[in-house]
């Protein structure tokens, strides 16, 4: 088996850590794995999940693209002893062996969100793709965001298959979002607020979010700090999943909602067109009335159907690590 180093320096978000854990489990099927992290908190979280062979190199995030330049010879020699280094978190440092960069965030390439931070991130991602043997993505729609000159290097570890699933026994509308601008949580709140007044059905309205301020005197139930299992338990209590982001990379909540038997109501954008099987509930981006109409259609249809066509997501690192 090949020896693979997973460079997880800078991984901090809940979603990023979950993707890291699931990827490590899959990569260990085909390779011997060691892990490099930049803080002890992540090291402890990985240890508590049953992972070992973890080295900590505490350096500021801005140094990570040049980590080996700021490190001692012992660390440089250790890093370069591996057959392959997989760089999580969009960019990494160049090694003397095979580098694979894992593109987990396409925000820097989105024309909807332009900032100095994203311009800098785009520069470092492009730089990492340039020196890497391969660039890995999870969904095919991500490839369209990346520079054409790199297309021959890009490989997807994700696959989408179509199947049918029984509709959820739950009754209600649920959304998962956060306070980042591109997630459009204010739009979700407005839609849910209108629905609380306009639908006669006894539908629960639930918003899972880390947003600190909530709508006052609202029928929307806010939940936060839920584990992955708790999120899944919430999903099955509902029948419709509402999404509103301007851009998505993995679309994990959409796939999880479908796997739980929920109808997905989302913007008619590239990621939703790729991730959903049933397109008739997609709405015009940021159009409140159109989103409400789609939800009302879903409520009506749920009275007549017992199963849904869904897109189910799975991924494998096997071909990438050959």
Per-residue pLDDT of 206-215, as tens digits, reads 999 987 777 7
Give the per-residue pLDDT at 216. 74
Tens digits of residue pLDDT in 191-244: 999 999 888 768 899 999 987 777 777 889 999 988 889 999 999 999 999 999
Determine the average pLDDT of the residues in 175-185: 93
Give the per-residue pLDDT at 15. 80
By C-alpha distance, which of 275, 283, 256, 263 is closest to 188?
Answer: 283
Domain 2-156 class, CATH top level: alpha beta
Q: Which CATH number does 162-313 carry?
A: 3.40.50.2000
Count Cβ neighbours within 10 Å for each residue of 278-297 and write b for 16 or more, e otherwise: eeebbbebeeeeebbebbee
Tens digits of residue pLDDT in 256-299: 999 999 999 999 999 999 999 999 999 999 999 999 999 999 99
Map out the domains of the chain as residue ranges. 2-156, 162-313
166, containing H or E segment: strand 158-166
Comparing 219 with 35, which gets the higher pLDDT? 35
Comparing 60 with 106, which gets the higher pLDDT? 106
Q: Assess whether the region 2-156 and the region 162-313 belong to the same CATH fold.
A: yes
């Amino acid at each position: 088996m090949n020896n693979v180093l997973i460079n997880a320096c800078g991984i901090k978000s809940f979603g990023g850590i979950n993707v890291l854990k699931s990827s490590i489990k899959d990569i260990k099927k085909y390779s011997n794995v060691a892990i490099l992290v930049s803080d002890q908190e992540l090291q402890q979280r990985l240890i508590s999940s049953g992972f070992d062979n973890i080295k900590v190199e505490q350096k500021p995030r801005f140094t990570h693209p040049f980590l080996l330049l700021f490190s001692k010879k012992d660390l440089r020699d250790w890093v370069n002893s591996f057959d392959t280094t997989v760089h999580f978190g969009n960019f990494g440092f160049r090694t003397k062996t095979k580098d694979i960069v894992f593109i987990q965030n396409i925000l820097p390439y989105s024309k909807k969100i332009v900032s100095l931070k994203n311009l800098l991130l785009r520069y470092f991602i492009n730089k990492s793709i340039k020196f890497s043997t391969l660039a890995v993505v999870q969904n095919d729609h991500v490839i369209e965001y990346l520079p054409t000159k790199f297309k021959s290097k890009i490989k997807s570890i994700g696959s989408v298959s179509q199947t049918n699933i029984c509709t959820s026994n739950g009754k209600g509308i649920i959304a998962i979002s956060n306070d980042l601008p591109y997630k459009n949580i204010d739009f979700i709140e407005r839609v849910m607020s209108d629905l609380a007044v306009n639908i006669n059905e006894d539908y629960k309205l639930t918003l899972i979010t880390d947003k600190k301020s909530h709508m006052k005197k609202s029928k929307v139930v806010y939940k936060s700090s839920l584990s992955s299992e708790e999120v899944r338990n919430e999903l099955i209590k509902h029948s419709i999943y509402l999404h509103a982001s301007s851009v998505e990379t993995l679309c994990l909540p959409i796939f999880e909602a479908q796997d739980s038997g929920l109808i997905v109501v989302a913007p008619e954008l590239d990621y939703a067109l790729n991730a959903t099987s049933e397109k008739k509930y997609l709405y015009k981006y940021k159009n409140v009335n159109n989103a409400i109409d789609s939800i009302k259609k879903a409520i009506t249809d749920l009275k007549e159907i017992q199963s849904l066509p869904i897109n189910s997501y799975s991924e494998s690192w096997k071909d990438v690590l050959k």
